[in-house]
């Protein structure tokens, strides 16, 4: 059985979106099982909000179909799709109390008042809003307002929740707290949740699967740690992980023992743990190393100058300028960090080095 046919499952089938001559989404396919927590992660302008708005019915598709729970909703009005959306701008009615804001959508569809009361009280309890029900939005903090906006979605008892950057107006501490509340809410309700963000920490901590997007396309759809450990493309490798992966231009040398061998720009030749790539194709590759796979050592294969020392508390990062001008980020040892401006050697942990083709395809250590 198609997982997207369960109640709350979502499927985009060849969905495209054009504005005049400009194609924003070329041909989008994605299938989400009921109850999943999915993040759409990608840089600004890659089409995340557009996809959510088409799913919610706020924006027509140019072509393709969208199903929710196996039902084709492509031509249905937003209110008939069984979903609720929470935006970055909470858009509460300023003259109404919290209780009336939450009840508004239900009164609009003439739901029985007793049922409305039951749902509002239930959502208020879940989101710890009971003490605030008689207040107006202006009497709330930003985080409380966003909780009311989430409550307004919860009372609809939708099959799926759509969140478009709901935390980006909150300060750092509140973001973290609200993030945990969303995780708890998902656990309690078990509803499908689709979360749009350009913040990878949000995506990694909340979602069970993440679709990394680039220019209206999915680069990779996988579990958070798979994206980190086995990024399918150079784009994903560079986007997921903070600080970002280092990329060094290298040239292929003859394979050894079934492993790829590459020559660095300083002439050093190293054997990676990547299985030999079939001969032919481009000789120019990029070697990808996360900062913690690059550490100072007297016999390191790379030489450079320490330009910046960044102390983050739990780790210290060295920004090192290599002889060929390239800037790389490496982890400093816990004790005895090198001096600013000193010349150091960096050892590459080749067991953890990735290789990327000129077309962006990734090759991982075996």
The item of Mg ion, ligand ATP, none sharing an interface with residue 309, based on CB under 5 to 8 Å by kind, is none
| Cβ at position 168, least distance to ligand ATP in Å | 9
> Considering CB under 5 A, how many residues would be counted as binding Mg ion?
1
Which C-beta is closer to Mg ion: that of 49 or that of 146?
49
Q: String of b and e for 115-137 (b: at least 16 CB within 10 Å)?
A: ebeebbbebbebbebeebbeebb
The item of ligand ATP, Mg ion, none sharing an interface with residue 47, based on CB under 5 to 8 Å by kind, is ligand ATP
Which C-beta is closer to ligand ATP: that of 25 or that of 245?
25
**Nearest Cα to 244, choosing from 305, 317, 156, 300?**
317
| Cβ at position 186, least distance to ligand ATP in Å | 22
| Cβ at position 275, least distance to Mg ion in Å | 39
Which residues in 79-108 contact Mg ion (CB under 5 A)? Answer: none
Which C-beta is closer to ligand ATP: that of 20 or that of 341?
20
The item of Mg ion, ligand ATP, none sharing an interface with residue 50, based on CB under 5 to 8 Å by kind, is ligand ATP
| Cβ at position 14, least distance to ligand ATP in Å | 18
Which C-beta is closer to Mg ion: that of 40 or that of 98?
40
Supply 360's token pair: 């962006």
Which C-beta is closer to ligand ATP: that of 49 or that of 272?
49
Which C-beta is closer to ligand ATP: that of 193 or that of 302?
193
197 scored as a contact of Mg ion (CB under 5 A): no
| Cβ at position 69, least distance to ligand ATP in Å | 24
Which C-beta is closer to Mg ion: that of 197 or that of 272?
197
| Cβ at position 47, least distance to ligand ATP in Å | 4
| Cβ at position 158, least distance to ligand ATP in Å | 21
CA 224 to each of CA 91, 200, 203, 229, 266: distance values in angstroms, whole numbers, following the listed order: 31, 9, 8, 9, 35
Contacts to ligand ATP by CB under 6 A:
19, 22, 24, 42, 44-50, 198
| Cβ at position 48, least distance to ligand ATP in Å | 4
Which C-beta is closer to ligand ATP: that of 50 or that of 101?
50
Binding string, residues 22-51; x marks residues near Mg ion by CB under 5 A: ---------------------------x--
The item of Mg ion, ligand ATP, none sharing an interface with residue 335, based on CB under 5 to 8 Å by kind, is none
Which residues in this chain contact Mg ion in the complex, by CB under 5 A? 49
């Amino acid at each position: 059985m198609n997982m997207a046919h369960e109640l709350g499952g979502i499927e985009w089938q060849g969905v495209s979106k054009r504005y005049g001559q400009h194609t924003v989404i070329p041909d989008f396919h994605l299938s989400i099982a009921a109850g999943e927590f999915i993040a759409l992660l990608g840089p600004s302008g890659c089409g995340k909000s557009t996809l959510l708005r088409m799913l919610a019915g706020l924006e027509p598709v140019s072509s393709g179909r969208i199903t929710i729970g196996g039902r084709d909703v492509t031509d249905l009005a937003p209110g008939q799709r069984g979903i609720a959306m929470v935006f970055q701008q909470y858009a509460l009615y300023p003259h109404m109390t919290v209780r009336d804001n939450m009840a508004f959508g239900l009164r609009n569809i003439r739901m029985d008042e007793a049922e409305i009361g039951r749902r509002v009280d239930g959502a208020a309890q879940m989101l710890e809003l009971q003490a605030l029900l008689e207040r107006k939005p202006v009497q709330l903090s930003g985080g409380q307002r966003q909780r009311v906006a989430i409550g307004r979605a919860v009372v609809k008892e939708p099959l799926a929740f759509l969140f478009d950057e709901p935390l980006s107006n909150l300060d750092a501490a509140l973001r973290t707290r609200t993030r945990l509340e969303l995780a708890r809410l998902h656990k309690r309700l078990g509803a499908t949740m689709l979360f749009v963000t350009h913040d990878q920490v949000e995506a990694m901590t909340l979602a069970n699967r993440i679709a990394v997007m680039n220019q209206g396309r999915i680069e990779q759809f996988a579990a958070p740690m798979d994206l980190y450990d086995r990024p399918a493309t150079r784009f994903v490798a560079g986007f997921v992980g903070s600080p970002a992966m280092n990329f060094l231009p290298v040239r292929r040398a003859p394979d050894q023992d079934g492993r790829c061998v590459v020559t660095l720009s300083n002439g050093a030749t190293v054997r990676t743990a990547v299985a030999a790539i079939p001969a032919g194709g481009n000789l120019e590759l990029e070697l990808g190393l996360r900062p913690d796979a690059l550490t100072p050592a007297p016999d390191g294969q790379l030489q450079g100058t320490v330009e910046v020392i960044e102390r983050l508390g739990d780790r210290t990062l060295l920004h090192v300028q290599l002889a060929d001008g390239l800037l790389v980020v490496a982890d400093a040892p816990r004790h005895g960090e090198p001096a600013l401006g000193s010349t150091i050697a960096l050892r590459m942990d080749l067991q953890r080095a990735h290789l990327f083709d000129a077309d962006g395809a990734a090759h991982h250590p075996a």
